[in-house]
Amino acid sequence: MKKLILCAAGLLMIAHWSKAQLYSSGNNIIAGTSVGIGISTPSSGTRLHIANPGIGELLRLQNTTPTGIGRFTFYNDVVTNYATFTKYGSTYPGGYAGVATQYPYANLFAFGNNGGPSLYIASGNVGIGISKAGNSRIKFNINYTTEYVGIGGNALPAANVHFNHDVSGDTIKITNSTTGHTATDGLDIRLSGNASTIMNLENSSLSFGTNNLSRMTINPTGTVVIGTTTTPSGYKLYVEQGILTEKVKVALKTSANWADFVFHDDYKLQPLPEVEAYIKTHKHLPGIPSADQVVQEGLDLAVMDAKLLQKIEELTLHMIRLEKEMAALKETNARLQSQIDRK
């Protein structure tokens, strides 16, 4: 009889609340439409209403054996107004809500895994990879208005794909599995202040091309080839089929590389008979490379211009000397003619 009275009292209390409904394996134990945990008046129409008067976990799903195998929690921060689902690994030592309280965006929703959550912000933007401990940098985000994708930094992307690195160093790095993913391999695109660099960190070439063909290659030794021919030894740049330009300017290291030394007082001008003999033997001017040498070794514009100037200056000196000799002969001839006329 006592048990019957207690059961009736319990049913009266349940009927009074009228908003609780729990089920066992097929039996309706408590009547109603909603279940409240931590609240005696669950929200109307809500099947399960969990309330927490403070800040912390609202729901935890966790295995009890073995201890620390991992858990899945639902966390709500009533101060900054964000909610987080967080999955904890078995070795994670403590509670972590998934997003640091210093994070600048309010009204966000996040999924996390040991402090590496993804965010769905109230504005519609998406962030993936938020750092904990007060670091609010978004590792990856999408601007829903422009559909721009950003990687790195803490600002919305400003281009279709925007890489933003806050410090100098690698911005984009591409490696392959045959050499391993180390700090010194692969293709590297980086910024250092206002300077930009595209570099092959391997001991190999870097090529640029169009129409599925390589057009320019930087060899591992630093030589550059435009075209398909191998760079001749001793040169830094080779351009196949030549260069068309409106202006070429060649710089000299020192004034000694120019030919003004011909006009120095101690310069020994080669006599013309010796020049004639040399030409008969070698079929080119002294100090000037032969046609075969030019074909084999190429032509250094700065050196050749200096050599040609040297020959012009030597010819000038010869002409000056011949002019003086002709003037002396004219004077002698005029004097002899005057003596003849007097006779």
pLDDT for residue 326: 94
- At residue 300, what is the residue type? D
| Residue 37 pLDDT | 83
- The two tokens of residue 66 are 């073995």
DSSP assignment of 123-162, as one string? TS-EEE---STT----SEEE-TTT--EEESSSS--SSSEE
Q: How far is CA 72 from the centre of its chain?
A: 38
* Predicted pLDDT of residue 118: 63
Nearest one of 228, 203, 206, 229 to 218, comparing CA atoms: 206
**237 bridge partner residues:** 224
Q: Which residues of the chain have pLDDT under 50?
A: 1-21, 89-106, 114-115, 131-136
Q: How do the domains of the chain map onto residue ranges?
A: 2-168, 169-203, 205-244, 255-342
Q: Which structure tokens are listed for 168?
A: 């100098």
CA distance 210 to 12: 84
Spatial distance between the Cα atoms of 245 and 242, rounded to a whole number of angstroms: 10
**Residues whose CB falls within 8 Å of the CB of residue 278, separated by 6 or more in sequence, listed in order:** 285, 286
Sign of CA dihedral 151, 154, 160, 165: negative
In the block, residue with structure tokens 């409904």: 21
Buried b (16+ CB within 10 A) or exposed e, 268-301: eeeeeeebeeeeeeeeebeeebeeeeeeeeeeee
User: 143-164: buried (b, 16+ CB within 10 Å) or exposed (e) per residue?
Assistant: beeeebbbbbbeebbeeeebbb
Task: Give the pLDDT confidence of 235-288 residue by residue, as tens digits.
Answer: 888 898 888 989 988 888 888 888 889 999 999 999 999 999 999 999 999 999
Residue type, 257: N
Measured CA distances, 180 to 19, 184, 239, 276 (Å): 62, 10, 35, 67
